[in-house]
Structure 1
Amino acid sequence: MSGRRLCFALDLDEDPDLIAQYRRWHRAGGVPEGVIRAIRQAGIDAMEIWLTGNRLFMVMEVAEGFDLAAKTQADASDPDVRAWEELMWRFQRPLPWAEPGEKWVAAERIFDLGQQPGK
C-alpha cells in the first residue's frame, strides 16, 4: 500500500425500507458522476462501504499527501457533493458519540496482525 487506510463509521436509520433505498443508491452507477469525480480528485484511491444491521463502515485507501480537511472544504463548495450529502442525510444518523455536525466518525485501529510477533 503506497498511501494509508482511513476507516469511518456511521449509522443508518433503522427503517428496513430506508436501508434498502440506501443500498440501491450505492449500487454501481448509482452515485452521481460528480460525486465520484470529487472522491477521486481528492486523492482517494479506493473506497468501500460495508453494512451490518444499520451500521456503516467506510474504508478508504488514500494517496500520500491526502488532506481530509481539504477534502471537507472542497466538498462544501461542490454543488454535486452538497446535493448528494443532503440526500444521504435522509437515511443516515450520527453515532451517539459524534460531535455536533459530525457525520462519518473516524475509527481508531487497535490491532494490526502485521505488528504481531511470529509468522
Structure 2
Amino acid sequence: MQRYILFLDLKDDPELIREYEKYHESIPAEIEESIVSSGIKSMQIFRFENRLCMEIIANDNFSFAQKGEMDSLNPAVQAWETLMLNYQKTIPGTPTGAKWALAHTIFSLPK
C-alpha cells in the first residue's frame, strides 16, 4: 500500500467553503467510481480554516499519472473538477498544471 498526503487551499470565503463542504457530503457516484477504479482504497479530506489536507491510501499499482489520464477521459470527472475550481486555489510551490501539492514525509514513528 502507498500513502500520500496532499495540500490545497480553498478561496477564503466562508460561504464558498460551506458550499464546498456541502458538495463533499455526498459526491456523485461517477466521481467515487473514478477514485476507486484508480486503485485508491481510502481518501479523506481535512480542513483547517481554508487549508485542505487530503490523505490517500492506494494499492501498489496506483500512480498519479495513470489517474490523471483516466480523469482526462472521463466527462463526469472533468465536470466535477471544473465545478471545484470555483472553490479551490493552489498553494505556493504547487507544480504547474497541478491543483494539489504533494507533501514529503520528513518524520515517521515507528521508523
**Band the TM-score falls in, shorter-chain normalisation:** over 0.9
TM-score (normalizing by structure 1): 0.90
Query: Larger C-alpha radius of gyration, 1 or 2?
Result: 1
Q: Does 1:111 align with 2:107?
A: yes
| 1:96 pairs with one of 92, 99, 103 | 92
Q: Does 1:36 align with 2:16?
A: no
1:82 deviates by 0.4
1:96 deviates by 1.6
| 1:25 pairs with one of 23, 26, 50 | 23
Q: CA RMSD in A?
A: 0.8
Tell me which residue corresponds to 1:67: 63
Structure 2 regions of 5+ residues with no counterpart? Answer: none
Q: Does 1:8 align with 2:6?
A: yes
1:101 deviates by 2.1
Q: Which runs of 4+ in 1 moved over 6 A?
A: none
Structure 1 regions of 5+ residues with no counterpart? Answer: none
- Alignment coverage as a number of residue pairs: 111
TM-score (normalizing by structure 2): 0.97
